[in-house]
Amino acid sequence: MSRSASSPLSRRDAERIVLHAVDEGGLERDLAYQLGRSLGDATLREPVLEGAFESKCRAKGSVITVSRNVFIPLTNLCRNRCTYCTFAKLPDSAEAKSYSVEDVADVVRGGVATGCTEALLCLGDKPEVAYSSHREWLAGQGFASTTEHLVEACRVALRGGMLPHTNAGVLSKSELEALRPWNASMGLMLENVSPRLRERGMPHFHAPDKDPAVRLRMHEEAGELAIPFTTGLLLGIGENADERVDTLYAMRDLDERYGHIQEVIVQPFHPKPSTRMRAASSMPDAEIAAWVALARLVLGPQMNVQAPPNLAPEVLELLLRSGLNDWGGVSPVTVDYINPEAPWPALAELRQRTEAAGQTLRERLPVYPEHVRDRRDLFDDRIWKTLSGFADSEGYAREKPLRTREEAA
């Protein structure tokens, strides 16, 4: 079934490769390279989509999940300078903001009032390293570091009746340990494992925390600590097809070693007017769906594969054919601060369109039902006490969570 790297695939070749992947529950790397290089061809995308959808259905049935959340950007200061990002602000910007614990409590109250269960805490990498003004602000709030501030914010969210999920950029193992008791899950987008993207002129040249080795190490340390972990592939920032495939295999290897990867997000880059990559081309929707499908074939039928619905709102039906089984977090309260130009779909619309495509939408928690049911080892006793009150007998979100006020030590 193997072909040389220079030989284009025929549709029959692609169909054979995909059928083999579906039946075996995975895909060999050389065959994934061949499929990945071919996804610009519309005639070859169709069998990839069909196979990925079949793989998803065999393991997940008709269920598509979504988490009702609030997005709390604890600080939008960041020491990295990625050429595509509008989240990070400079301290003297009018848009720079850091949330006090009282601000966090206010957002959580709004989330609880609208039935949200997940408090997504997102922030820039190591802002106190780059900015003395932020060190001073932290000290004024009573904290010696951003991590201390983050731990307290997670405690406040948990006490307020929501389950924290933290995405704080690169953290040390000791910082992960400090956060684990107060988080249902954590995450870090791997984005891409190619060191080429850190070279001069590439998007991560001025972003030390985007070093693939650094990000892979954090994934490994989260595995050693048994933390339910979200990762993801970022599409369209200058990487090539083989580098995307290598990134998917790095994720698969991590989960095979530690069993802690709870979901993989396949997220397209959208160029933004105020960035240095504003003139870059967006990836066509059909290719985005094809890469979601290839992720399913590489990662296997049991992995939770997510594509954000606000980043491709016109083609949700196509994405539903791609093998995904999760829409991610959708908020009735807050915007997507990473992509503020892309509003969330209303949950009612998302349900209607999902069901019109023959699928069933179910609400989950920051962790997936199978991890709630079967992986008690992934949770600290303190978070488990609260988590179990949010879950129904199958591990999905209860219609009315039994919210408890967790008393922080």
Among 2-6, 52-56, 61-65, 292-296, the range scoring the smallest mean pLDDT is: 2-6
DSSP string, 159-212: HTT-EEEEE-SS--HHHHHHHGGG-SEEE---B---GGGGSTTSTTTT-GGG-H
Total domains, the chain: 1
Q: Please report the pLDDT score of residue 402 as a whole number.
A: 75
Q: Please report the pLDDT score of residue 271 as a whole number.
A: 84
Q: Residues 233, 191: contact at Cβ < 8 Å?
A: yes
How big is the chain by its Cα radius of gyration, in Å? 21
Residue 44 within any structural domain of the chain: no
Average pLDDT, the chain: 94
Q: Please report the pLDDT score of residue 344 as a whole number.
A: 93
- List pLDDT tens digits, range 162-215: 999 999 999 999 999 999 999 999 999 999 999 999 999 999 999 999 999 999
C-alpha pair distances (Å), 44 with each of 28, 164, 290? 18, 41, 9
Q: Residue 222 maps to which CATH number?
A: 3.20.20.70
- The whole-number average pLDDT for the span 91-115 is 96
Give the residue carrying structure tokens 């409590």. Answer: 105
Give the global pTM: 0.94
Q: Report the percent of the chain where pLDDT is more than 70.
A: 97
Residue 149 within any structural domain of the chain: yes
- List pLDDT tens digits, range 392-409: 999 999 988 876 544 444
Is it the case that residue 5 has pLDDT exceeding 80?
Answer: no
- List pLDDT tens digits, range 309-337: 999 999 999 999 999 999 999 999 999 99
- List pLDDT tens digits, range 108-145: 999 999 999 999 999 999 999 999 999 999 999 999 99
Residue 292 within any structural domain of the chain: yes
Residue 75 within any structural domain of the chain: yes
Q: Please report the pLDDT score of residue 272 as a whole number.
A: 87
Q: How confident is the model at residue 279 (pLDDT cuts 50, 70, 90)?
A: confident
Q: Residues 161, 104: contact at Cβ < 8 Å?
A: no
Residue 80 within any structural domain of the chain: yes
Residue 46 within any structural domain of the chain: no
Residue 185 within any structural domain of the chain: yes
Q: Residues 298, 27: contact at Cβ < 8 Å?
A: yes
Q: Please report the pLDDT score of residue 1 as a whole number.
A: 41
Q: Please report the pLDDT score of residue 409 as a whole number.
A: 44
Q: Please report the pLDDT score of residue 4 as a whole number.
A: 43
Among 51-60, 361-370, 383-392, the range scoring the smallest mean pLDDT is: 383-392
- The whole-number average pLDDT for the span 26-42 is 96
Q: How confident is the model at residue 300 (pLDDT cuts 50, 70, 90)?
A: very high
- List pLDDT tens digits, range 217-245: 999 999 999 999 999 999 999 999 999 99
Residue 22 within any structural domain of the chain: no
Tokens linked to 343: 């509003």
Q: Please report the pLDDT score of residue 245 as a whole number.
A: 98
Q: Please report the pLDDT score of residue 270 as a whole number.
A: 83
Is it the case that residue 79 has pLDDT exceeding 70?
Answer: yes
Tokens linked to 132: 């003395």
In which domain, by residue range, is 119 found? 60-390
